[in-house]
Every structure is written in structure tokens, then in C-alpha cells.
Amino acid sequence: MKDSQKKLILQYLIDGNSITGLEALSMFGCFRLADVIFRLKTDFGYNIKTEYVQINGKRFGKYTLIV
């Protein structure tokens, strides 16, 4: 994981957006969004909510920053 990806994803969340793994891959080239979210939570203390959504029978994590 690149620090630049982490910073871009964090800024995207700070701007009030939610993100899924597919969106992170498409927008930021990030293959491991769950790891980025984990690090933002544990290393920096960000309060990020995980909501699970189901689309076409597949379950995805959708992450939102709680301010």
C-alpha cells in the first residue's frame, strides 16, 4: 500500500464520501482497501463505519468516516 493511496482515500472519506473496494480500485488503484481502512483506524484513530451492502448476490464492505 502506498502512502499516497492512503492519503487520497482518507481525503475522499473526509470530503463526506463512502467507498467500496471496487471504487477504491477504480479511483485510486488500491487493491487492499480493507487494509487501508484498518490502518486508518488503528494507527491514526479515525472512526470509520463499515456497512455491508449486497449487490447481485455479492456482499461488499462500504466504508464511511464518522465525524
Are the C-beta atoms of 2 and 45 separated by less than 8 Å?
Answer: no
The span from the CA of 40 to the CA of 59, in Å, is 22
Q: Which three cell numbers, joined as nine digits, stand for 46?
A: 479515525
**pTM to 2 decimal places:** 0.90
pLDDT tens track for 25-34: 999 999 999 9
Q: What is the chain's mean pLDDT, rounded? A: 94
Question: What pLDDT does residue 23 have?
Answer: 96
The span from the CA of 16 to the CA of 10, in Å, is 10
Please give the CATH topology (third level) of the domain spanning 3-65: Arc Repressor Mutant, subunit A (1.10.10)
pLDDT (mean) for 17-24: 96
- Longest C-alpha distance within the chain, in Å? 34
